[in-house]
Amino acid sequence: MSGFVQVVRAELFKVLRKRRTYVIAGLWWGLLPALGLIIGRLVYVNLGASFANEAGGIDVAVQQIASPFGLARIALVGPAYLAPTFYIIVITLFAALLIGEERGHAMWKTVLVAQPQRFAVMAGKIAVAMLALGGLLLGAAASAALLGAIGMTFLPTDWSGEWGTLAGLFALQWAFSLTGVLFAFLLVFLFKNMVLGIVTVYFLPGLLEGLYSIYAATVGFQPVNRLNVFFQTIALQQRLEDIPRYFYTANAYAPARAPVSELLAGLASGGADIPPDAISQLLGSSITLPHAALVMAGYAVAFGVVLFWRFARHDVE
């Protein structure tokens, strides 16, 4: 246990002295809510007094975007809809710092003599990545709320919102990030070239899932043909058709994507009837959280076992 604590202290010391940590924090804590606030202000100034706001729809939209709750929700949802997502970018940067640079600077030979318990070393590094991500998420929510509070002085917004649910989603997204951390650590550790490792983290899941989707769309599983006869024989068609629901990227951001239909419905409100399921399908947020949690736990176990096993047997050349 003490070895683990020592690694956590040492790696936190390192992370806090790395400029990129503060660049990420600046982008997430400052830029994103500031953009939300500016958009909210522009919408309100340009449309607030127009006929479009007769039913109060613009006020509602501004509340959705630029209120403390709205900005905090955007701080959670926004990063999940980039490609690659901001979450995986941040995770990969920490993987590069905590794992890739040890090889790049030939530091494993020093680290593993100062702290020969390899399990503690890897567990400590994972913990530091999770702590850093937790800090960034917490800071993102706090800064969004703070800027939203400032926005209340010049926008028709207030503190209302489902804060408890949102806090739960933040916590869940943080927990889900463990799988991403294990995945990124594994690939950055396995690839001798750190850049290649990072690129793989960004694009491998999407590539594999895309290939599968192309196969499913062009060849399919029914009717029987030369390419799927095997699957037909072993009667796995249904399972294979279900596979996209188990894809990494379909599940990794489920908590962050969960509020998107509520957000869009809010934006369109003023009352328009938008079937929530349709929005969810469109934006890839149809996966339920319990399902996603199970899938991500499975991936985490698989990535974790391979990572710790490879690291324990690694020869530091």
Partner 1 sequence: MDHAIVAHSLTKRYGRVAAVDDVSFEIAPGEIVGFLGPNGAGKTTTLRMLAGLIRPSSGAGTVLGRGVPGPSLRDVGTMIEEPSFYPYLTGRDNLRHAALLHGGVARERIDEVLAFVKMEAAAEKRVRAYSQGMRQRLALARALLWRPRVLLLDEPSNGLDPVGIAEIRENLRAVAREGVTVLVSSHILAEIEKLVDRILAIEKGRLVFDGPLSRLLARAESLTLRYVLRATDPAALEAAARTLGLVTERSADLVTVEVPAERADDLVSDLVAAGVRVTEAQRDQDDLEDAYLRLVQADARPA
What is the binding site for partner 1 (CB under 8 A)?
2-3, 5-7, 9-10, 13-14, 17-19, 101, 105-118, 313, 315-317
Nearer to partner 1, 239 or 310 (CB): 310
Provide the minimum distance between the beta carbon of 114 and partner 1 in the complex, in angstroms, as a whole number: 4
| Residue where the block lists tokens 């992370």 | 15
**Cα 186 to the chain's mean position, in Å?**
17
| Residue 269 one-letter amino acid | S
Looking at beta carbons only, is 75 or 99 nearer to partner 1?
99
Q: Which is nearer to partner 1, 2 or 50 (CB)?
A: 2
Show Cβ contacts of residue 55 under 8 Å, excluding neighbours closer than 6 positions.
Answer: 270, 271
Is 108 or 191 the residue whose CB approaches partner 1 more closely?
108
Q: State the nearest-atom distance from the C-beta of 10 to partner 1, in Å.
A: 4
CB of 28 to partner 1, least distance (A): 22
Nearer to partner 1, 34 or 111 (CB): 111
Minimum distance from residue 110 beta carbon to partner 1 (Å): 6
In order of 23, 31, 132, 236, 243, the CA distances from 181 in angstroms are: 19, 24, 11, 32, 23
Q: For helices 19-26 and 86-95, give the axis angle rounded to 10 degrees.
A: 170
Q: Return the number of the residue (105 or 226) whose C-beta is nearest partner 1.
A: 105
Closest CB 30 distance from partner 1, rounded Å:
23
In whole angstroms, what is the distance from residue 299 CA to residue 247 CA? 10
User: From the CA atom positions of the chain, what is the Rg in Å?
Assistant: 22
For the CB of residue 121, give the shortest distance to partner 1 in the complex, in Å: 8
Distance linking the first and last C-alpha atoms of the chain: 27
Least distance CB 97 / partner 1 (angstroms):
10
**In this complex, which beta carbon is closest to partner 1, that of residue 13 or of residue 203?**
13
CB of 123 vs partner 1, minimal distance in Å = 14
Residue closer to partner 1 by CB (options 23, 301) is 23
